[in-house]
Amino acid sequence: SNNNINYQTPKYAFSEALKDYKNEHNELGIDVSEWQGAVDYELVKNAGATFVMMRIGYTPKAGETPKIDGTYLNNIKKAKEVGLKVGVYLYSKALSKEHAIKEAEWIIETLQGEKLDFPIIFDWEIWSNWNSYHLSFHELNEMPKSFIETVEKAGYKGALYGSKFYLESLWDGSYDQVWLAHYTTKTNYEGKYFMWQFSNVGR
């Protein structure tokens, strides 16, 4: 699904990313979850990052209630303490509009009014079992739309996370707020996006 020729080498240093991408019109940040363990946010800030996108939780199995990420509470507390901007995402396994709404409601309850600088992200990536879901493209797109509507009714912004391939082929292109994942040195994605995840090997 990815036909790029400019791949990054493993262990792409944040200092190199700053040289490659930082300018007066953008800012650089990191994406964390419990897979990164305990993060020293003073070091993150000193390295030049200005924001952190963090996993607030994940849905273990389709239809189940989400579980909180094991490092979320520490991540949001420590990141804010050093003055970093924050946003959250849920790794969703929703298979219906109704379940996506329940996931959004769970996030709102878990946040307990916490102020965010970036949207709440609907992150749905369970494509490997697509044939067993029996979802139409319309039903697929109803999930993030319902999720986003629910968080926005609660006063937050909402957005969709997606790779270039799926944004161009399965998500319907009507999303104003997109977190684009495209691991390449220069994206040729032509849709709207407010954030670009350009590497999965950053250090």
Q: What pLDDT is stored for residue 3 in this prediction?
A: 46
- Nearest Cα neighbor of 88 from 50, 62, 114, 63 is 114
The arithmetic mean of pLDDT across residues 92-99, rounded, is 96
pLDDT at residue 54 is higher than 50: yes
pTM of the model: 0.91
The DSSP output letter for 66 is P
HEC profile for 81-146?
HCCCEEEEEEEECCCCHHHHHHHHHHHHHHHCCCCCCCCEEEEECCHHHHHHCCCCHHHHHHHHHH
Mean pLDDT, the chain, rounded, equals: 93
Write out pLDDT tens, residues 16-31.
Answer: 999 999 999 999 999 9
Contact present, 91 and 125 (Cβ < 8 Å): yes
Q: What pLDDT is stored for residue 203 in this prediction?
A: 87
Q: What pLDDT is stored for residue 122 in this prediction?
A: 98
Write out pLDDT tens, residues 135-185.
Answer: 999 999 999 999 999 999 999 999 999 999 999 999 998 999 999 999 999
Q: What pLDDT is stored for residue 5 in this prediction?
A: 43
Q: What pLDDT is stored for residue 9 in this prediction?
A: 57
Contact present, 189 and 167 (Cβ < 8 Å): yes
Q: What pLDDT is stored for residue 10 in this prediction?
A: 75
The arithmetic mean of pLDDT across residues 45-74, rounded, is 96
Q: Report the percent of the chain where pLDDT is more than 70.
A: 96
Lowest mean pLDDT, pick from 29-38, 49-58, 71-80, 97-106: 29-38
How many degrees, rounded to 5, is the angle at CA 53 between CA 106 and CA 150?
A: 30
